[in-house]
Amino acid sequence: MLTVKILGPGCSNCERLKATAVEALQMLGANAAIEEVTDPAEFRRYRVMMTPGLVVNDKLVCAGRVPTKPEVMTLIANVLAEEASRS
């Protein structure tokens, strides 16, 4: 199953990123477990210096800004394609 993590303290940008990710997943027709991660130790684990961060299947794909919905769709699709090519 696809996993998406939103890294951040729960600020308005974190909420915007979560909403954008949910919309992008719906448009892609993908089911995913979405987790909000607020622990700064986890941010450091992913080497996120500025929040929010977007992690797809344990891979950091964006940090420090809120990407657009088309961007999030592309980031998710790229991770899925990369994983499919390794299988």
In this predicted model, what pLDDT tens digit does every residue of 38-48 receive, in sequence order? Answer: 999 999 999 99
Mean pLDDT over all residues of the chain? 95
User: Tokens 């794909």 appear where?
Assistant: 61
In this predicted model, what pLDDT tens digit does every residue of 19-73 receive, in sequence order? Answer: 999 999 999 999 999 999 999 999 999 999 999 999 999 999 999 999 999 999 9
The pTM assigned to this predicted structure is: 0.94
Least Cα distance to 71 among 37, 21, 34, 31 occurs for 21
| pLDDT computed for residue 14 by the predictor | 97
How does DSSP assign 10-62, residue by residue?
S-HHHHHHHHHHHHHHHHHT--EEEEEE--HHHHHHTT-SSS-EEEETTEEEE
Least Cα distance to 62 among 6, 2, 3 occurs for 6
Give the CATH architecture of domain 2-86: 3-Layer(aba) Sandwich (3.40)
| pLDDT computed for residue 1 by the predictor | 83
